[in-house]
Amino acid sequence: MTETTTLSPRTRALIGRHDLIVFDGVCVLCSGFFRLMTRIDRSGRFRFATAQSDLGQALYRDLGLPTDDFETNLVIVDGVIHQRLDAFAAAMRAVGWPWRALAVASWLPAMLKDPLYHAIARNRYRLFGRRDHCMVPSPELAARFLDRAA
């Protein structure tokens, strides 16, 4: 697990103390995860950023991840950065029941969950589609995007 304290000071300042979900804004599957989270996160705990945004790019750079191929989503909860299937599990755990039950995904052995995640991630555009540009959120949702507020 990586903590936000390992990020650059600028990136940490942009995130602040928020819990954050960073997703590929042109991926239909990833945008679907974002839309699901906006519906089930009734308390508004999470803020959002696209991987293509300045904040998303800074996070990927700070973590040593490619800044042009977003095969991992990022979820930050309580200052801990989660990637891949563990990111999904952390988000589900954070929103509570009944969604918390899906956090069981983090208990899968790495030799099973990592290849499964990578197979879907590498083929996500072919399987689920790709938009020509990032979605434009409603004004209510735009307020929850850290990259738009920055």
pLDDT digits (tens, 9 = 90+) for 55-70: 999 999 999 999 988 8
> Which of 38, 22, 48, 29 is closest to 123 using CA atoms?
29
Residue 134's pLDDT is what? 62
Pairing of strands 74-77, 19-23: antiparallel
Mean pLDDT of 109-122: 88
Q: List for the chain the helix, strand, coil content (%; round to 5).
A: 55, 15, 30
Higher pLDDT, 24 or 140: 24
pLDDT bin (cut points 50, 70, 90) of residue 23 is: very high
Higher pLDDT, 139 or 76: 76
Q: Which range, 14-18, 28-32, 106-110, is most confident?
A: 14-18
pLDDT digits (tens, 9 = 90+) for 135-146: 666 777 888 988
Higher pLDDT, 141 or 96: 96
Q: How far apart are CA 121 and CA 81, in angstroms?
A: 18
Residue 75 pairs with which residues in a beta bridge?
A: 21, 82
At residue 149, does pLDDT exceed 50? no
Count of positions (residues) in the chain = 150
Residue 133's pLDDT is what? 63
Is 47:146 a contact under the CB 8 Å cutoff?
yes
